[in-house]
A and B are shown apart, each in its own frame.
Chain A
């Protein structure tokens, strides 16, 4: 089954996926106390009586965090509850010193939104059940012989992350394939980035995702047995884990079996999922209203003020790039989904570079470079600025650089860090359109290739390319091929 295509599986079975995404907010301080919210600080330096759960300490919600969750809710088209409640989620695990996590239960801040995702130029609307506010937990490290959780001798706990504002975005089970799940998470990340509410760094855990997946015979409306997958640390992991889990469940059903409801752990190395041993009872969290926090009542005027500050969201930006700059859908999706890519694009265009050419470069040579180096647009902008790209495009437009020369110049600039103008001069990349120099090469080539000249004059048009090639070779690539071609034609037309 492994590797079976989505299409093949889709004809017989339907995959039903819901995602729960956790977003750490990029506030300065924690959710309920004034300790700093920062990644990578020395252990237990950002802690206080509130986040350590000392008796008598009282939580006070962070206004910025509430503003951020409202921003997220509004961007996802949710209703913002005028009144919501915090609940205690009780459990026994040393990652929370209080033995409970403050979360929300039946009255979250945001309910009922949606997110449109595009797969293969087909747009699907994924429902958002709710978006609620909670706090992150501390970081436990299992120590001992192997470092594996089952064989660990003890655990070490750092509470710097305990109490960091965390938003959970819960989707409806509307997602139908691993590809759609990837598109959903990619779009959610782009929206969060545009909103400026989170670092959305999956590798640092500021965006995390759990997936619920089940499979049912195509055409059925009943939900299959649901399996929850944890430990999805990248968008690629999410897609791989879901493909594997879908195939595993399909195989079980085909063999006349049935998946069991359980939590499975995705193993990055093998690309497979494994059951986590866990007692059903452990999931009785005994939620009850947090007695230390009054209901959260939000002033409708404040919510409207926040709505007024929402930035242009990725979907709107992609639309605009298509409309205003004539970008093709796949170009708009690369340029428009990443806030920094969009900024790069707009700066180059503001300098007078034509939109389609900028987009072509960004989605081809520049994207290839980013793939190769693993850098982001912000880093690329330092090596090869939008100004440099605009300059490069202008030189190409004016005929100073051939397309080969432009590519070579770009590679040299990112490699050496030297200015574009210098690189062009030094490496002799300037395209020669100077007629007297071209004429000399053209005349030499005509004199040395009497047979080709004969054939061309006899009506074999295609021969011209061979002659252009000869001139290009003679010029070591610096001749302007179009000028060469024109010159050859006019010379050969002479008696």
Chain B
């Protein structure tokens, strides 16, 4: 079952600028992926409850006890830009 995909919408949500060639190529690839995923719902049966995790793991919780943090120098080591001990980022504007 072919799945139609609005590639421009997806690209906008991901903040990606695509060339015409990329749009066509990715549209085809994403459609294939979605078709593949759609197959799962064909085999899923009514008596299998939906799940978000394939591995049956018990809930793991952590005690509320501090562990060492890395500190500003290490945290900012790979920052493209900084001002004192804060990350400096380009001005924030809504898209388009």
Which A residues are closer than 8 A to B by beta carbons?
27-29, 33-36, 42-49, 52, 60-66, 85, 90, 92-94, 140-144, 149, 152-159, 277-279, 281-282, 284, 286, 289, 291, 294-298
A294-B95 contact in complex given A27-B64, A63-B63, A155-B89, C-beta closer than 8 Å: no
**Cβ of B3 under 8 Å from chain A:** no
Do the beta carbons of B59 and A33 come within 8 Å of each other? no
Do the beta carbons of B92 and A93 come within 8 Å of each other? yes
Given contacts A34-B62, A155-B91, A281-B13, 11 further A-B contacts (CB under 8 A): A28-B64, A28-B66, A29-B67, A35-B69, A44-B85, A45-B85, A63-B61, A64-B64, A92-B15, A142-B91, A295-B51
Do the beta carbons of A45 and B89 come within 8 Å of each other? no
**Cβ of B20 under 8 Å from chain A:** no
Residues in A neighbouring B18, C-beta threshold 8 A: none
Residue of B nearest to A298 (CB): B59
Q: In the bound complex, how far is the Cα of B95 from the Cα of A284, in angstroms?
A: 13
A45-B13 contact in complex given A66-B61, A149-B92, A289-B52, C-beta closer than 8 Å: no
Q: In the bound complex, how far is the Cα of B86 from the Cα of A282, in angstroms?
A: 26
Cβ of B56 to closest chain A Cβ, rounded Å: 9
Stretch at the interface among B21-29, B30-38, B40-48, B70-78: B70-78
Residues in A neighbouring B69, C-beta threshold 8 A: 35-36, 45-48
Residues in A neighbouring B53, C-beta threshold 8 A: 289, 291, 294-295
Q: In the bound complex, how far is the Cα of B67 from the Cα of A36, in angstroms?
A: 8
**Cβ of B17 under 8 Å from chain A:** no
Do the beta carbons of A63 and B85 come within 8 Å of each other? no
Do the beta carbons of A43 and B72 come within 8 Å of each other? yes
Do the beta carbons of B12 and A156 come within 8 Å of each other? no
Top 4 A-B pairs, shortest CB-CB distance = A34-B67, A64-B64, A289-B52, A63-B61
* Most chain A Cβ neighbours within 10 Å, of B58, B62, B70, B90: B62
Q: In the bound complex, how far is the Cα of B89 from the Cα of A225, in angstroms?
A: 36
Q: In the bound complex, how far is the Cα of B72 from the Cα of A46, in angstroms?
A: 8
Residue of B nearest to A51 (CB): B69
> Which of B62, B85, B96 contacts A42, CB < 8 Å?
B85
Do the beta carbons of B92 and A155 come within 8 Å of each other? yes
* 29 A–B contacts from the bound complex (CB under 8 Å): A28-B65, A29-B65, A29-B67, A33-B67, A34-B66, A42-B85, A43-B84, A44-B75, A44-B76, A60-B60, A60-B62, A61-B59, A62-B62, A63-B61, A63-B62, A92-B15, A141-B86, A143-B83, A152-B92, A153-B91, A154-B91, A156-B88, A157-B87, A157-B89, A158-B86, A159-B87, A282-B94, A289-B52, A297-B58
Do the beta carbons of B92 and A94 come within 8 Å of each other? yes
Q: In the bound complex, how far is the Cα of B92 from the Cα of A277, in angstroms?
A: 13
Q: In the bound complex, how far is the Cα of B83 from the Cα of A90, in angstroms?
A: 27
Do the beta carbons of B92 and A140 come within 8 Å of each other? yes
Q: In the bound complex, how far is the Cα of B61 from the Cα of A298, in angstroms?
A: 11
**Cβ of B1 under 8 Å from chain A:** no
Residue of A nearest to B92 (CB): A155
Cβ of A37 to closest chain B Cβ, rounded Å: 9
Cβ of A58 to closest chain B Cβ, rounded Å: 10
Residue of A nearest to B13 (CB): A284
Residues in B neighbouring A142, C-beta threshold 8 A: 91-92
Residues in B neighbouring A47, C-beta threshold 8 A: 69-72, 75
> Which of A34, A36, A156, A159 contacts B75, CB < 8 Å?
A159
Q: In the bound complex, how far is the Cα of B76 from the Cα of A47, in angstroms?
A: 10
Residue of A nearest to B71 (CB): A45
Q: In the bound complex, how far is the Cα of B93 from the Cα of A149, in angstroms?
A: 8
Do the beta carbons of A34 and B65 come within 8 Å of each other? yes
Do the beta carbons of B12 and A281 come within 8 Å of each other? yes
**Cβ of B39 under 8 Å from chain A:** no
Cβ of A441 to closest chain B Cβ, rounded Å: 68
Residues in A neighbouring B15, C-beta threshold 8 A: 92
Cβ of A298 to closest chain B Cβ, rounded Å: 7
Do the beta carbons of B60 and A294 come within 8 Å of each other? yes
> Which of B9, B62, B89 contacts A94, CB < 8 Å?
B89
Do the beta carbons of B72 and A294 come within 8 Å of each other? no
Residues in A neighbouring B68, C-beta threshold 8 A: 34
Residue of A nearest to B49 (CB): A83
Q: In the bound complex, how far is the Cα of B69 from the Cα of A426, in angstroms?
A: 57
Residues in A neighbouring B13, C-beta threshold 8 A: 90, 281, 284, 286
Do the beta carbons of A48 and B92 come within 8 Å of each other? no
Q: In the bound complex, how far is the Cα of B96 from the Cα of A52, in angstroms?
A: 28
Residues in B neighbouring A62, C-beta threshold 8 A: 61-62, 64
A157-B90 contact in complex given A36-B69, A45-B72, C-beta closer than 8 Å: no
Residue of A nearest to B89 (CB): A94
Residues in A neighbouring B88, C-beta threshold 8 A: 154-157
Q: In the bound complex, how far is the Cα of B51 from the Cα of A85, in angstroms?
A: 10
Do the beta carbons of B59 and A279 come within 8 Å of each other? no
Residues in B neighbouring A34, C-beta threshold 8 A: 62, 65-68
Residues in B neighbouring A141, C-beta threshold 8 A: 86
Residues in B neighbouring A297, C-beta threshold 8 A: 58-59
Do the beta carbons of B52 and A85 come within 8 Å of each other? yes
* Most chain A Cβ neighbours within 10 Å, of B83, B86, B88: B86
Cβ of B51 to closest chain A Cβ, rounded Å: 8
Residues in A neighbouring B60, C-beta threshold 8 A: 60-61, 294
Do the beta carbons of B62 and A277 come within 8 Å of each other? no
Residues in B neighbouring A60, C-beta threshold 8 A: 60-62
